[in-house]
Amino acid sequence: MASPIFTVTTPLYYANDLPHIGTAYPTIAADAIARFERLRGKDVRFVTGTDEHGQKIQRTAEERCKTPQAHCDEMVPHFKALWEKLDIQYDRFIRTTDSNHGAIVREFFQRVWDRGDIYLSQQKGWYCVSCEEYKDEKELLEDHHCPIHFNKKVELRDEENYFFRLSKYQGALEDLYKNNPEFIQPESRRNEVLSFVAGGLRDFSISRVNFDWGFPVPNDPNHIIYVWFDALLGYITALLEEGETPTLAAAVAKHWPAHTHIIGKDILRFHAIYWPAMLMSAELALPGRVFGHGFLIRDGAKMGKSSGNAIDPNALVDRYGVDAFRYYFLKEIKFGQDGSFEETRFVNILNADLANDLGNLLNRTLKMVPKYFGADGLKVDASAIPMDNPMKALGMTLGDRVAKCYENMAFSEACEAILDLVRLGNRYIDEQAPWKLFKQGDIDATAEILYTVLESVRLAAYLLSPITPRVSTAIYQQLGYSVDFNNSPLRDISLAFQTQAVWGTLSSEQSLGEAQPVFAKFELPSV
């Protein structure tokens, strides 16, 4: 029987520049949800990649005295290297310059054309090449500088463009939003789109002239297809199998529509308005939801090159490790809201949650086992532990609750729910004081307490594994498993959610490993 499909995408990052923390953030979120759905046995396509066309890239390449293709070829390895460094397990890396993408774009364009949704008209206005968008004059800064790229001047354009009849889909889009309230998330983003659409949609231009880095419009090669029109289709091209003839029918046959598009709030309009309208025009299925995440803020400003306050993700990972990086951004920032990075906070949170609470709970408990029970290990029947055991009671419902959190992209709440169990573990072990019971000769009670805590740590590690695969692996290995959350076959039955997300799975038959700290504490940064 075929597994249910789950397709999730990150934005296709613009290959104008090197990847940075703002590209890493949605990518780890996508990776976490992809890993989670794989654990549940879904047939996952996790799509990421690069958007490589457009005048901006052409100019950047010219400045660097390179061809656009050579420029992009240089950028792409940096993305792939960062993803590898961050343990990102993507299934597809689409480049919009991939050889099969052109065929998909042309076929799509033709379909929309045949639908009568494309026409030629005049476009006049101020164009920001960095945004690849027309701007209204009054939103510009002094001397015609773009408000977003304040070091760049906009350019006056007066040219023929092909237009897409977006206005025709106003009603259909409004129905879409009304009938699928979850289509745009979070709620605040949805409201923005609703009010924007309510203001009336205008057709938008989908071609440009006077440069050539992109796909020519079929039958009018003086025009280049607008970079956004091209890039969005990358989500579909990405689903083609290796060597498969590039047709829309083939691409969407199995893994389309995407369940979730993860995007930055800055590209919401393209994904929540233009994209579904384009798909409607081409009579293709619509994605399930568009989730707009927030920006990372530092010192009150959006992190970015232009503000000079960006954090280099490579340096952060080198210093603190992958899991710390992933955990901080997914746990400390509610997905969908803006979030800040402060190194002191980063260190405090990681030390408190992963080293002190989780890691130390495993360590303190596991060390008692050989000390009290020697090589025999614990002989405990989990099902015999009473339901009113507080850890068991909480653990029994945790898997389902955490699953809901992941489904809702509520990574922070997922972590909190898991930590509740961990914190209860520390309280429980203090209250029960197995070290005293052992000295009093109450061996059975001691074993039961230790098992209860170890099993809870296992469950926590399992549920955390989409976020902290390395720490979870270390915990599992100390508990006697041979799994590696980074290398297991994607649907290794031994890791299946149905068994592993349930409290009481740890077998007393398996021999436990030696206790070693699974997460070393960090030093606070010197001020």
Partner RNA sequence: AGCAGUGUAGCUCAAUGGUUGAGCAGCAAGCUCAUAACUUGAAGGGUGUGGGUUCAAUUCCCACCACUGCGACCA
Residue among 185, 365, 472, 478 that touches RNA (CB under 7 A): 365
Residue among 254, 345, 379, 404 that touches RNA (CB under 7 A): 345
Shortest Å distance, C-beta 33 to RNA: 21
Residue among 339, 377, 399, 504 that touches RNA (CB under 7 A): 339
Closer to RNA by CB, 140 or 490: give it.
Answer: 140
* Residue 299 binds to RNA (criterion: CB under 7 A): no
> Distance between alpha carbon 511 and the CA centroid of its chain, in Å?
36
Residue 128 in 3-state DSSP? Answer: strand
What is the separation, in whole angstroms, between the first and last Cα of the chain? 58
Closer to RNA by CB, 81 or 520: give it.
Answer: 520
Closer to RNA by CB, 24 or 518: give it.
Answer: 518
Closer to RNA by CB, 95 or 189: give it.
Answer: 189
* Residue 337 binds to RNA (criterion: CB under 7 A): yes
Residue among 356, 389, 408, 508 that touches RNA (CB under 7 A): 356
* Residue 343 binds to RNA (criterion: CB under 7 A): no
Residues 180-209 within binding reach of RNA (CB under 7 A): 188, 191-192, 195-196, 199
* Residue 305 binds to RNA (criterion: CB under 7 A): no
Q: Determine whether 245 is exposed, middle or buried from the number of CB atoms within 10 Å of its CB (0-12, 13-18, 19+).
A: exposed
Residue 155 in 3-state DSSP? Answer: strand
Residue among 118, 217, 368, 460 that touches RNA (CB under 7 A): 368
Residue among 352, 393, 443, 496 that touches RNA (CB under 7 A): 352
* Residue 433 binds to RNA (criterion: CB under 7 A): yes
Residue among 260, 351, 473, 478 that touches RNA (CB under 7 A): 351
Residues 498-527 within binding reach of RNA (CB under 7 A): 517-521
Q: Among the candidate windows 79-87, 254-262, 265-273, 498-506, which touches RNA by CB under 7 A?
A: 265-273
Q: Among the candidate windows 357-365, 391-399, 461-469, 498-506, which touches RNA by CB under 7 A?
A: 357-365
* Residue 359 binds to RNA (criterion: CB under 7 A): yes
* Residue 122 binds to RNA (criterion: CB under 7 A): no
Closer to RNA by CB, 356 or 408: give it.
Answer: 356
Show the site string, 314-333: x = touches RNA by CB under 7 A, - = not.
------------------x-
The angle at the Cα of 314, spanning 342 to 54, to the nearest 5 degrees, equals 105
Distance CA(34)–CA(293), nearest Å, equals 16
Residue 180 in 3-state DSSP? Answer: coil
194-203, long-range: CB < 8 A, 24+ apart: 196/269, 196/273, 197/170, 197/173, 197/273, 198/174, 200/167, 200/170, 201/166, 201/167, 201/169, 201/170, 201/173, 201/273, 202/166, 202/167, 203/121, 203/163, 203/164, 203/165, 203/166, 203/167
The residues, any chain, with a CB within 8 Å of residue 83's CB and separated by 6 or more, are: 27, 48, 90
SS3 sequence of 445-479: HHHHHHHHHHHHHHHHHHHHCCCCHHHHHHHHHHC
Closer to RNA by CB, 426 or 505: give it.
Answer: 426
Q: Phi, psi at residue 224, to the nearest 5°?
A: -105, 135
* Residue 115 binds to RNA (criterion: CB under 7 A): no
Shortest Å distance, C-beta 454 to RNA: 12
Residue 309 in 3-state DSSP? Answer: coil
Residue among 340, 408, 486, 488 that touches RNA (CB under 7 A): 340
The residues, any chain, with a CB within 8 Å of residue 399's CB and separated by 6 or more, are: 459, 463, 497, 501, 502, 503
Distance CA(5)–CA(287), nearest Å, equals 13
Shortest Å distance, C-beta 27 to RNA: 21
Omega of the bond prior to 218 within 30 degrees of 0, cis? no
* Closest residue by Cα to residue 321 from 484, 81, 87: 87
CA contacts within 13 A on the Cβ side of 1: 4
Size of the site for RNA (CB under 7 A): 53
Distance CA(36)–CA(28), nearest Å, equals 12
Distance CA(128)–CA(169), nearest Å, equals 26
Closer to RNA by CB, 118 or 474: give it.
Answer: 474
Distance CA(218)–CA(503), nearest Å, equals 59
* Closest residue by Cα to residue 454 from 436, 428, 431: 428
Shortest Å distance, C-beta 290 to RNA: 14
Show the site string, 128-147: x = touches RNA by CB under 7 A, - = not.
--------xxxx--------
Closer to RNA by CB, 193 or 382: give it.
Answer: 193
C-alpha pair distances (Å), 119 with each of 134, 200, 204, 221, 228 = 18, 19, 10, 15, 17
* Residue 444 binds to RNA (criterion: CB under 7 A): no
Shortest Å distance, C-beta 260 to RNA: 20
Q: Which residues bind RNA (CB under 7 A)?
A: 136-139, 188, 191-192, 195-196, 199, 265-266, 269, 332, 334, 337-340, 342, 345, 348-349, 351-352, 354-360, 362-365, 367-368, 371, 423, 426-427, 429-431, 433, 435-436, 517-521
